Amino acid sequence: MFTIFMFTIFMFTIKNNFKAFWIPLSIIATTLIVIFLLGSILENMQKTGVNSKERVGIINEMNHPYKDEFDKMFEGNELKKILEITCLNENEDVQLLLEEGKFHTIIEAYYLDGKNSINVSTVYPESYVLAIATNFTQTANTVTMVMQNQGDMNTLEKQYNNKILKTKILEKGNPIGLDYYGVVSMLQMIAILGIIAVYAILDDKTKNIFPRIKTAPISNFNIIAGRTIANVLYITFILVVIATLASLILGVNWNGNYLVILTVFILFSFIITLLGMISAQLTKSVTASLGVIMGIGSVLWPKYSGAFSPFIKSTIMSYVSPNFHAKNVLFATIYGGSTKTIFEGLVFLFIIAIVMMSIFTIIERSKINDSI
Amino acid sequence: MVVVKTQNLVKRYGDLLALDNVNFDIEEGQIVGLLGPNGAGKSTLISCITSISSYDSGSVEIFGKEMKQKAYDIKKDIGIVPQDLSFYPNMSAYGNVKFFSSLYGFKGKKLEEQVKKALEFVGLWEKRKQKPKKYSGGMKRRLNIACAIAHSPKLVIMDEPTVGIDPQSRNHILDSIRTLNRQGATIIYTSHYMEEVETLCSHINIMDNGRIIASGTKAQLKNMVSDESTLEIELENIAFNIIDKIKKIDGVVEAYIDNNRLLVVLRGKNIDEILLAINESKGSIVSVNMKKCTLEDVFFSLTGRTLRD
pTM, to two decimals: 0.73
Q: Tell me, yes or no, if B87 comes closer than 8 A to chain A by beta carbon.
A: yes
Q: What are phi and psi for residue B122, nearest 5 degrees?
A: -95, 5
Least Cα distance to A58 among A94, A26, A28 occurs for A94
Least Cα distance to A194 among A323, A3, A39 occurs for A323
* Nearest CA-CA distance, residue A21 and chain B, Å: 14
CA distance A18 to A42: 34
* Cβ pair A8:B99 closer than 8 A: yes
Q: What is the pLDDT, as a whole number, of residue B197?
A: 86
Q: What is the pLDDT, as a whole number, of residue B100?
A: 92
Q: Tell me, yes or no, if A10 comes closer than 8 A to chain B by beta carbon.
A: no
Q: A103 pLDDT exceeds 50?
A: yes
* Nearest CA-CA distance, residue B88 and chain A, Å: 7
Give A372's pLDDT tier (boundaries 50, 70, 90).
Answer: very low
Q: B98 pLDDT exceeds 90?
A: yes
ipTM reported for the complex, 2 dp: 0.78
Q: B68 pLDDT exceeds 90?
A: no
Give DSSP secondary structure letters for A176-216. Answer: -HHHHHHHHHHHHHHGGGHHHHHHHHHHHHHTT-HHHHHHS
Span A28-81, pLDDT tens digits: 999 999 999 988 888 767 777 776 677 889 998 888 888 888 888 888 777 777
Q: At what angle do helices A220-250 and A177-190 cross, to 10 degrees?
A: 160
Q: Tell me, yes or no, if B44 comes closer than 8 A to chain A by beta carbon.
A: yes
Q: What is the pLDDT, as a whole number, of residue A166?
A: 56
Least Cα distance to B80 among A371, A215, A217, A220 occurs for A215
* Nearest CA-CA distance, residue A236 and chain B, Å: 25
Span B14-48, pLDDT tens digits: 888 999 999 988 999 999 999 888 888 888 999 89
Best residue in B103, B106, B140, B144 for a mutation probing chain A (most A CBs within 10 Å): B103
Domains detected in chain A: 4-44+175-371 (no CATH), 52-169 (3.40.190)
Q: What is the pLDDT, as a whole number, of residue A371?
A: 40
Q: Of A210, A216, A371, which is closest to B103 when you measure between CB atoms? A: A216
